[in-house]
Amino acid sequence: MRLIKLAILAIVVSFASCQNKPGAVTKDALKTEIDSVSYAIGMDVGNSVLSNFEDINNDLFIAGYLNVLDSSDVLIDKTMAQGLVQSYFQKNREKIMKRQQERAAKEAEEKFGANKEAGEKFLKENVANEGVMTTDSGLQYVVLKEGNGEKPTTSDRVKVHYHGTLIDGTVFDSSVDRGEPTEFGVTQVIPGWTEGLQLMSEGAKYKFFIPQELAYGANPRPGGAIKPFSALIFEVELLEILDK
């Protein structure tokens, strides 16, 4: 371990003294095994930095490394340093994930933009139909049967019967067809369901017309009948609130 630290120290010191002299180190410098190992470790550290950091202050990177080795003038205690690094990587992961999602959404919209347009057209026309009500979020619904029980909250589990179709009538999922109701938490479903269930009283049956942004958006389950940006229709009967 001490040998590795000394080897890395040699790399860092060499880098610090030569960073303004591109090409100062050549293959002629790799005379012994430790020379080659030292350079290889430096490459490994460099590749790690390049792949994990968009930008880095080289002077402070070197200073932090050397201060730890000689235990002098450390500016940040170990616990704080670990917290800073963990926080940075968490924010970096979130940034990368957001970019990936935005890129995937853009690619999906280019391929499935017609689905989005069809759903928007359907909902725009549907709102004029008798009995259709619209919430602030854009969720549309029709009351098929009112209930007389309590309304569920986000902390509840419910038992429901449902029948789900695309706007062209294609059935993609139906507990009614299976002959068996299903149970789940109010927040364990798509946003349109979570909102819609809280409008219903126990025993009620509603029909929901759910915009794609309140359904699966650009990321439905791969290989299923629901394509990206699909508006969905559900008939939902709230049979029982389980956790009241």
Domain 113-241 has CATH 3.10.50.40: yes
Residue type present at position 164? G
Report the pLDDT value the prediction gives residue 116, as an integer from 0 to 100: 93
66: which DSSP letter?
Answer: H
pLDDT digits (tens, 9 = 90+) for 28-41: 888 899 888 888 98
> What are 133's strand-pairing partners?
141
Angle between helices 33-52 and 2-18 (to 10 degrees): 70
Distance CA 63, CA 69 (A): 10
Strand-pair partners of 161: 237
| Model pTM score | 0.63
Q: Per-residue confidence of the chain (244 residues) as pLDDT tens digits?
A: 444 444 454 455 455 444 444 446 788 888 899 888 888 988 888 888 887 777 788 888 888 878 887 776 788 888 898 898 889 888 888 888 898 888 888 888 888 899 999 999 999 999 999 999 999 999 999 999 999 999 999 999 999 999 999 999 999 999 999 999 999 999 999 999 999 999 999 999 999 999 999 999 988 988 899 999 999 999 999 999 996 5
Give 87-94's long-range contacts (Cβ < 8 A, gap of 24+): 89/52, 92/52, 92/54
Which residues belong to the active site? 162, 172-173, 190, 216, 234
**For the chain, which residues make up each domain, given as ranges?**
2-70, 113-241
